[in-house]
Structure 1
Amino acid sequence: MFSPYYAWANRSQPADANDYCALNVAIYSPGNKRWTMTERGGKWIHRDQHTFQIGPSALHWDDNCLTINIAERAIPFGQKVTGTIKVYPEQLFQFTTPLDDAEKHRWGPIAPSARVEVSMQHPALRWQGHAYFDSNEGDEAISVPFTEWDWSRAAMKDGSTAVIYDVRQKSGVERLIAMRFKPDGSVEPFEAPARQALKKTGWRIQRHMRTDANTRATTSQLLEDTPFYARSILQSTLLGEKVTSMHETLNVPRLVATSTQLMLPWRMPRVPKMFS
């Protein structure tokens, strides 16, 4: 979705997305922060019904577990990022919904609530906890219909996961998706509260969060602060419950700006021989 190489290739003629694949790994552990998003061409890609291979890394689905084997190098200093992540869904969902009026972009949570086991060799980290697994797909560039969006997900007391997609389109029409994914496999829409502005990021990205009336959302941790995208952990109130939310903001005009496109290769190199 953020590949500058794919964007450049599409200027002349439709490009094959299989030639522009990457595994993004972000580790935020204090003292062990790592970022990897090395893009690889089609000769490094293999996929079948159960496996998606991207160079030396791979995702494999086996019965009730998604295993992610990571063998990458961090940007910008080339440290090893190796290890295994196992994701065990508590319930699988087949829910999808369009994000735009033309229905060319779709989102759906595959496992909105899951258990994760992380075993990293480089850096040396081990932990278990709660996980979330979803999918975004599109038939055109996200720059065509969208201006910006805010997305958040929060684990509720009853074991369900509440997701809010707050989308602003270039047409001026807003789309608001507020869904609760329950442990029994059911999906229930809910009325999202009013939008409130959050503190701008260091790159002056304006973020928003929908939180219950007469309450304020606060940022516990700003995980990613880039010219076009921010990822945060927020504390807020939703449906009468105090919740911790993973929150993301995407500013599309910032993403497609020439300055951003020229900076992206520093975070997303396309050097398969060096990193394989």
Structure 2
Amino acid sequence: MTERSRASVTRDVHEFVVGPSRIHWDGASLVLDLDEIGMPLPQRVRGRVRVWPRGLSTFATALDDGGRHRWGPIAPCARVEVDLQQPGVRWSGEAYLDSNEGDEPIDRPFTDWDWSRASLRDGSTAVIYDVRQKHGGDRVIAQRFSADGAAEPFEAPARQKLPRTLWRIDRHMRNEPGEPARVLHTLEDTPFYVRSMLDSSLLGERVTSVHETLNVPRLMARTTRLMLPWRMPRVK
């Protein structure tokens, strides 16, 4: 990922262009054409990612008490096809696409959150947002999305503590009692954010969950800000 200035960004009703990369909707799928340089070891990342929604969702909700930060899935049940020429990678599988937006910096209302997504046997997707605020109580958003995008709330189970990360980040998972969650694979482990695959239990099923934890004070720390340009360079 590269941060680019306004001069490198254009958008119209057909496409969204960021530098040499672009996103557009072809009528059936969301197409991402990538042409970037990976970091911290420079390498070309070039190819196409295509997301095929099974249905589009209009669900949206506030993440904070003030309603200044909002989340909603665009395609909660989808399929992805990845075809990269550089590096030579090609695969397909289950996918999920959502959107976050805010009217203020993320560090004002939040201290941290845990988020998880799991595909269920009937083809639906269960999402849990477990949010801690600086002021006010915890907010737990638990929604089950059917293949056509329709949303239905469900009662989230109790929090279960997960092992700390290599960067000593505390994280938790909403998981049914008596069925402990296990970390299968850590996909990304940073000073302020971690994403993993979990073996967990939800809505009476044993599922594989994508799980992430964001630690906002760590994100805003000066040491983190000094490291970010090495992973996310900034160009005009």
1:234 aligns with 2:195: no
- Stretch deviating more after TM superposition (180-189 or 135-144): 180-189
What is the aligned partner in structure 1 of residue 162 from structure 2?
Answer: 198
Rounded Cα–Cα distance in structure 2 between residues aligned with 1:128 and 1:252: 32
Structure with the higher strand share, 1 or 2: 2
**Consecutive unaligned residues in structure 1, runs of 5 or more:** 1-36
| Runs of at least 4 residues off by over 2 Å | none
Amino acid in structure 2 at the alignment position of 1:205: I
Rounded Cα–Cα distance in structure 2 between residues aligned with 1:92 and 1:184: 7
1:189 aligns with 2:153: yes
Rounded Cα–Cα distance in structure 2 between residues aligned with 1:101 and 1:144: 12
1:63 Cα deviation after fit? 1.0
1:108 aligns with 2:72: yes
Rounded Cα–Cα distance in structure 1 between residues aligned with 2:224 and 2:234: 16
1:170 aligns with 2:121: no
1:50 Cα deviation after fit? 2.3
**Consecutive unaligned residues in structure 2, runs of 5 or more:** none
- Stretch deviating more after TM superposition (130-139 or 259-268): 259-268
The one-character-per-residue Cα deviations of 1:49-99 (angstroms, maximum 9, x if unpaired) are 121100000011121210000000011222100000111100000110000
Q: CA RMSD in A?
A: 0.9
Residue among 32, 51, 66 paired with 1:68 = 32
What is the aligned partner in structure 2 of residue 270 from structure 1?
Answer: 234
- Equivalences for residues 22-61 of structure 1 within 5 A: 37-61=1-25
Rounded Cα–Cα distance in structure 1 between residues aligned with 2:41 and 2:130: 36
Rounded Cα–Cα distance in structure 1 between residues aligned with 2:193 and 2:59: 26
SS in 1 for 2:179: coil
TM-score under structure 2 normalisation?
0.98
Residue among 212, 227, 235 paired with 1:248 = 212
1:118 Cα deviation after fit? 0.8
Kept in 1, the 8 Å contact 2:16–2:23? The answer is yes
Rounded Cα–Cα distance in structure 2 between residues aligned with 1:260 and 1:81: 25
1:172 Cα deviation after fit? 4.1
Residue among 177, 183, 195 paired with 1:213 = 177
Amino acid in structure 2 at the alignment position of 1:201: T
The one-character-per-residue Cα deviations of 1:14-37 (angstroms, maximum 9, x if unpaired) are xxxxxxxxxxxxxxxxxxxxxxx1
Amino acid in structure 2 at the alignment position of 1:58: R
Rounded Cα–Cα distance in structure 2 between residues aligned with 1:185 and 1:89: 9
Describe the shift of the 1:184–1:270 C-alpha distance in structure 2 as closer, same or farther (beyond 3 A).
closer
